[in-house]
Structure 1
Amino acid sequence: MFYTKITMLKDFFFDLIRNYTDNENTINYLWNEIEKNYSNHRRYYHTLQHLENLLVQLVEVKEKIQNWNIILFSIYYHDAIYNVLKSDNEQRSAALAEKRMLQIGVDNQIINICKMQIMATQSHAQSADNDTNYFTDADLSVLGQSWNIYEIYYKNVRKEYIIYPDIIYNSGRKKVLHHFLSMDRIFKTEFFNSKLENQAKENLQKELYLLK
Structure 2
Amino acid sequence: MEWPEAIAALGGEPSAAGWARLEARYGEPHRRYHTLDHAAAVARDSAWLADVLDLGETSRALVAVAAWTHDVVYDAKPGEDERASAAWAREALKQAKTGEAHIERVTDLILATTKHDAPPEDALATALLDADLAILGAPPELYATYARGVREEYAKYPDDIWREGRVAVLEGLLSRTLYRSEAARTRWASTATANLSAELTHWLRARSDHR
Report the TM-score range of the alignment, normalised by the length of the smaller protein: 0.7 to 0.9
Partner of 1:27 in structure 2?
Answer: 15
Equivalent residue for 2:83, pick from 82, 91, 97: 91
Contact 1:133 1:189 survives alignment (8 Å): yes
Partner of 2:141 in structure 1?
Answer: 148
Equivalent residue for 1:168, pick from 142, 147, 161: 161
C-alpha offsets along residues 73-119 of structure 1, whole Å, 9 cap, x if unaligned? 10111001111256411011101111111222222221111111101
- Size of the aligned set, in residue pairs, is 198
Higher relative CO (CA 8 A, sep ≥ 6), structure 1 or 2?
A: 2
Letter in 2 for 1:57: D
Partner of 1:13 in structure 2?
Answer: 3
C-alpha offsets along residues 28-73 of structure 1, whole Å, 9 cap, x if unaligned? 2111111111111100100011012112212323332240110111
Contact 1:17 1:27 survives alignment (8 Å): no
Equivalent residue for 1:197, pick from 189, 194, 197: 189
**How far, CA to CA, are the matches of 2:31 and 2:41 in structure 1?**
16
Equivalent residue for 2:39, pick from 48, 51, 68: 51
Letter in 2 for 1:65: L
Contact 2:46 2:67 survives alignment (8 Å): no
C-alpha offsets along residues 146-177 of structure 1, whole Å, 9 cap, x if unaligned? 11111111011011111111111111111211
**How far, CA to CA, are the matches of 1:124 and 1:85 in structure 2?**
15
The alignment yields a C-alpha RMSD, in angstroms, of: 1.7
Partner of 1:116 in structure 2?
Answer: 108
Equivalent residue for 1:65, pick from 41, 51, 55: 55
Percent of aligned positions that are identical = 27
**How far, CA to CA, are the matches of 1:126 and 1:177 in structure 2?**
21
**How far, CA to CA, are the matches of 2:145 and 2:35 in structure 1?**
13
Contact 2:50 2:127 survives alignment (8 Å): no
Partner of 1:3 in structure 2?
Answer: none
TM-score, with structure 1 as normaliser: 0.87
Contact 1:16 1:72 survives alignment (8 Å): yes
Contact 1:18 1:27 survives alignment (8 Å): no
Contact 2:46 2:64 survives alignment (8 Å): no
TM-score, with structure 2 as normaliser: 0.87
Q: 1:138 to 1:113 in 2, by over 3 A?
A: same
Residue 126 of structure 1 and its aligned partner are, at CA, apart by 4.7
**How far, CA to CA, are the matches of 1:156 and 1:167 in structure 2?**
17
Q: Which runs of 5+ in 1 are unaligned?
A: 1-8
**How far, CA to CA, are the matches of 1:89 and 1:208 in structure 2?**
25
Instruction: Classify the secondary structure of the residue corresponding to 1:93.
Output: helix
Q: 1:87 to 1:61 in 2, by over 3 A?
A: closer
Structure 2 residue 68 is the aligned partner of structure 1 residue 76: yes
